[in-house]
Amino acid sequence: MESLLILTNIASAAAGAILQYIISSYLWPNRHRLYTWWFSLRNHAKLGVPCQCEIVLKRDGYFLGFNPKMKSAAWVCYMVSKRSVGVNLDRGERFYPDPDIPAPYRIKPEEFTNSGYDKGHLAPSAAIDFSRRSNDQTFAMSNVVLQHPKLNRQALKRLEELIREWTRTKGVLSITCGPLYNKRPKRINDIPIPSGFFNVIYSLKYKQAVAFIFPNDAVTASKLWNYAVSVTQAEKETEYEFLSNLGRKGVKVKMHLDVAWWQKK
């Protein structure tokens, strides 16, 4: 009887140790998988798209409207929240031709090589990494444009950092961004070079919006706020319509620009 009791205790201790090992080694490190699937079901175009496109790609972390004439996205929409930007899985960091784009308009990564421009993400890798698949999708060349190195590595990098920070203080954010082109854009390897970029950011919780219009030039992080405009002003400069699904309620939101509110942490 005493031997049976000892064996029972040993078995219980072993089972407890095994369970603890499973929890600490497998369940806890992968706890994000219990909820990250939800982020892939978001309607990233919930607030409307700037223009209609024949080719619309609905990815896990963003939606993209493609412009065949310019061989690039016309716009990208994505929604981010405190939880979705806080997962930070390993990133692929491998650019690839997008198989969902028709071959005549499909760009290969090597076509940007030695161009003097960066491979600039539209939907950013650093904000869309709640799963390996969602992050890999940001490296599709349909989501990449020729971007001035300083703009990419300074001003836009800083804006992307701010967006991730704002999810902690300003709630769920809807972002619409994309390239702008001249009527006769310069080209590299028959790829049009954007003349600039637009970014429109909206806080669903606080109903505040801010837009940025950047030239495709050497814009430093310290000059970021020089390019902030109201959404209404961004619409005039781009000839797009933003936040269209807000309806009449969106008119005041788009006209109002409170830079101090966005700068406040």
What pTM value is reported for the model? 0.86
Fold type of domain 35-263 = Extracellular Endonuclease; Chain A (3.40.570)
Q: Give residue 36's pLDDT.
A: 75
* Beta bridge pairs of residue 179: 197
**Structure-token pair, residue 52:** 């209609």
**Structure-token pair, residue 236:** 């005039």
d(CA 142, CA 8) in angstroms, rounded, equals 61
d(CA 168, CA 86) in angstroms, rounded, equals 10
Q: Where are the domains of the chain?
A: 1-34, 35-263
Rounded to the nearest angstrom, the gap between the alpha carbon of residue 138 and the centroid of all alpha carbons in its chain is 8
Q: Which residues of the chain have pLDDT under 70?
A: 1-35, 88-92
* Beta bridge pairs of residue 120: 145
Cβ(62)–Cβ(123) under 8 Å?
A: yes
**Structure-token pair, residue 103:** 């071959």
In this predicted model, what pLDDT tens digit does every residue of 27-78 receive, in sequence order? 445 555 556 777 888 999 999 999 999 999 999 999 999 999 999 999 999 9
Hey, CA dihedral for 145, 105, 96, 116, is it positive or negative? negative
d(CA 146, CA 130) in angstroms, rounded, equals 26
Q: Identify which of 134, 201, 124 has the alpha carbon closest to the alpha carbon of residue 156.
A: 124
